[in-house]
Amino acid sequence: MNTAQSIRAAALMLVVALAACSEAPAEVEERVRAIKPYFVTDPAGGDVRRYSGTISSAKTSALSFAIAGTVATVEVNGGDTVTKGQLLATLDPEPMQLNLNGARSELAAAQAEHEAKKVDLDRQQQLFERGWVAKAALDQATAAFEAAAGQLNLARSRLGLAERDLEKTRLRAPFDGVIALREIEPFVEVKVGDTVLQLDSDGAFEVELSIPDTIVGRLAVGSPVSISSTTIAGCGCTGRITEIGSMSTAANAVPVKAAILQAPPGLLSGMAVEASLALSGNAESRGYMVPLVAIAPGDGTVQGFVFKYDQAEGIVRQTPISGDGPVSGNMLAVSSGVQAGDVLAAAGVGFLRDGQRVKLMGE
């Protein structure tokens, strides 16, 4: 190989080497780690009591027709999601349509009579001004015109009622929600006020509790409530007491309601849950109980870290905590950094980093 050939070969090798170096390294897809969740619910201090409760819709409506009739169609089934104004069911419109047609005919006749009396009144007015008719004739024409005007207004009112009755044969959703109950079928006669459908608001829930009357005085509207459910993954819910009954039932219990602040997907009316309530009159709450395995060592500036699961982003966020409370078994009272409703990684925190993509175990 002569000198020129050697130079060309070396240049070719250099180009190949540069091309290889310029290629972007293949991206390695990050493995999404599954974490065991712990739902923060238990206050660290104070007198905490747990009670069984039932989920109910925060807004519910028993729907009925405002007129009697025969059911023609039912457009929805139990469990269907509907929007405000959506058609739910109809009655046979023929009787109302016949009433509407009659009202329109009455209005047309009343309008014609009114016009005729108006023409006669104008004519009598002109004759009276010329002195050709007596005042009594003008008064009679005026009275006839006023009576015709009254009949015209009555016919217009009857037409409006007939139109409204026809519209009432169509039952529409008063708000967005879910059909919780269907109690009608086509061809069934219904009366005014008969409940035909039950509509629950979608996503707005509350918990109904029965609290012994001996301790209900230690609760207050607005107090926090921690709610847990074994049937819904991710139901470490927080709530606030919204209503405390004023009368004890036969079982010496007072009804109490708590609104759920952020309901997880899959929560339905009728589900059984457990609610934890911190009663007043005892030591102040010092944060929440957190398992020791969910706490990573601090870095010298903070006592420790937990990894909170961000459901919207699908990641964990490293969060500093203060744990100066007592240790109970394998649980530590954490005074700051966590709150009711937080979802923490409950194992393997040493292998997690801030912003890492994760999923809940079992998903």
Most confident of 33-37, 135-139, 217-221: 135-139
Residue 20 lies in a domain: no
DSSP string, 260-309: ESSPPTT--TT-EEEEEEEETTSSPP--EEEEGGG-EE--SSSSEEEEEE
Asked, for residue 10, whether it belongs to a domain, the answer is: no
Is residue 96's pLDDT more than 90? yes
C-beta separation of 359 from 313 below 8 A: no
pLDDT band at 325 (very low <50, low <70, confident <90, very high): low
Are 123 and 219 part of one and the same domain?
no
Calculate mean pLDDT across residues 249-276. Answer: 82
Q: Are strands 272-279 and 47-57 parallel, antiparallel or unpaired?
A: antiparallel
Count of structural domains, the chain: 4
Lowest mean pLDDT among 16-30, 169-183, 188-202: 16-30
Rounded (10°) angle between helices 94-129 and 135-167: 160
Q: Which residue has the higher pLDDT, 5 or 341?
A: 341
Report the CATH number at residue 132: 1.10.287
Domain boundary among 222, 244, 279: 279
Same domain, 219 and 267: yes
Name the most confidently modeled range: 13-17, 240-244, 320-324, 325-329: 240-244
* 194, 84: one domain: yes
pLDDT at 202 over 70: yes
Per the domain annotation, does 7 fall within a domain?
no
Contacts of 358 (CB under 8 A, 6+ apart): 32, 33, 34, 35, 309, 314, 315, 316, 345, 352
Are 75 and 183 within one domain? yes
Q: Is the pLDDT of residue 8 over 60?
A: no
pLDDT score at 35: 86
329 falls within a domain: yes
* 32 pLDDT above the threshold of 50: yes
Of the listed ranges 189-193, 233-237, 249-253, 319-323, the one predicted with least confidence: 233-237
Confidence at 92, pLDDT banded by 50, 70, 90: very high
Does 87 lie in the same domain as 187?
A: yes
pLDDT band (50, 70, 90) for residue 153: very high
Here the CATH number for the domain that contains residue 313 is: 2.40.420.20
The arithmetic mean of pLDDT across residues 127-153, rounded, is 93
63 within 8 A of 197, measured Cβ to Cβ = yes
Which amino acid is present at 65?
F
pTM for the whole thing?
A: 0.54
Instruction: Return phi, psi of residue 311, to 5°.
Output: -65, -35
- Of residues 11 and 302, the one with the higher pLDDT is 302
**Looking at the domain assignment, is residue 27 inside a domain?**
no
Same domain as 87, residue 217:
no
Task: With cut-offs at 50, 70 and 90, classify the pLDDT of residue 237.
Answer: confident
Residue 16 has pLDDT above 50, yes or no: no
Whether 22 has a pLDDT exceeding 60, the answer reads no
pLDDT at 156 over 70: yes
Residue 160 lies in a domain: yes
Shared-domain flag, residues 71 and 192: yes
Q: Are 181 and 78 in contact (CB under 8 A)?
A: yes
DSSP E strands, 58-169? 60-64, 69-74, 81-82, 87-91
Residues 183 and 142 grouped into a single domain: no
State the DSSP string of 298-352: --SSSSEEEEEEETTTTEEEEEEEB--S-EETTEEEE-BS--TT-EEE-S-GGG-
Q: Are 320 and 274 found together in one domain? A: no
CATH number of the domain enclosing 54: 2.40.30.170
Greatest alpha-carbon span in the chain = 141
Same domain, 133 and 184: no
Task: For residue 216, give both structure tokens.
Answer: 């209900």
The region of weakest confidence among 56-70, 78-92, 215-229, 342-356 is 215-229
Q: Pick the more confident residue, 92 or 326.
A: 92
Which two tokens mark 40? 């923060």
Mark whether 219 and 261 lie in a shared domain. yes
Identify the domain containing residue 251 by its residue range: 47-58+204-279
pLDDT beyond 50 at 333? yes
Say yes or no to pLDDT of 15 above 50.
no
Closest listed residue to residue 178, CA positions, set 76, 272, 271: 76
CA distance 211 to 214: 8
Q: Are residues 54 and 81 in the same domain?
A: no
Lowest mean pLDDT among 69-78, 87-96, 277-286: 277-286
